Structure 1
């Protein structure tokens, strides 16, 4: 009984003495840690699994019209291949204003099938993101109201459309 135990003890000690074979290195600088929200504009598109946001790095958004143009440009070919689609029809009379985190989208007539459909979510989330970038509003504080003709829908928050 003592021979197998002695042999096992010797093997364990030999393994511990040799280590794992990885030699220590010095400190490696990894740069600064990410903090806060991304500075990139996100555009929201429809998919079979619900609304999805995609980043547009390097695209500067100086006003709501620029965000709307990015949305109307639609998904890239790769994004289309991955199942993303733009359900928002171009509306030349669309107007977007904001005051203290409350965004209002004015549209003469609706392109949405229902107040909670993905095309409405595309507008709400894209303009909410633009509000964050343009005015520094916290994402959870942005409220978006849609006025179609004289009827109001909302206020909505982007999160309402992302949870479906």
Structure 2
């Protein structure tokens, strides 16, 4: 063997016998793996950069009316300071029903003139999240339709409003 080849062989053997330097350990537990969807309600508000969801931890949603009240409460002072606002105004009445992931919002105050605006997104995303929590529907399967008299807008999915 030539001198460089011998040196290279010695280096390779030295690396192979020393390993990576990490000593073996026993099995360690990482706890239980996360599963499913978090059980926190998210309310969606308008901002200069588009629709943003904010968590409402500890708020149990028993029905769609709770989600609507949370939406009408608007952003917290801190969230307003962060540029969030609500474009949804209280209507005389608003009713929300769902069947197999299809959510229908009946509201007299809605106008389908600009269906892709952030106020529509606030309704769609907030009630889609409530549907997920109330009935276990997969988020990508929730369809929301808004009905005002003879006008219908949708069906929409929340991600349509989050991608703008």
TM value normalised by structure 1: 0.81
Give CA deviations for 1:12-31 in whole Å, capped at 9, x if unaligned. Answer: xxxxxxxxxxx998776543
Name the CA distance, whole Å, in 2 between partners of 1:112 and 1:40. 30
Q: Tell me what 2:156 maps to.
A: 156
Aligned residue pairs, count:
164
Q: Tell me what 1:49 maps to.
A: 49
Name the CA distance, whole Å, in 2 between partners of 1:82 and 1:141. 31
Unaligned runs of 5+ in 2: 1-22
Unaligned runs of 5+ in 1: 1-22
Write the mapping of 1:100-115 to structure 2, written as runs, cut at 5 A: 100-110=100-110, 114-115=114-115
Q: Tell me what 1:74 maps to.
A: 74
Q: Tell me what 1:129 maps to.
A: 129
**Once the 2 structures are TM-superposed, how far is the Cα of residue 76 of structure 1 from its aligned partner?**
0.9
Name the CA distance, whole Å, in 1 between partners of 2:78 and 2:33. 29
Name the CA distance, whole Å, in 2 between partners of 1:62 and 1:160. 26
Name the CA distance, whole Å, in 1 between partners of 2:130 and 2:149. 23
SS of 2:43's equivalent in the other structure is strand
TM value normalised by structure 2: 0.81
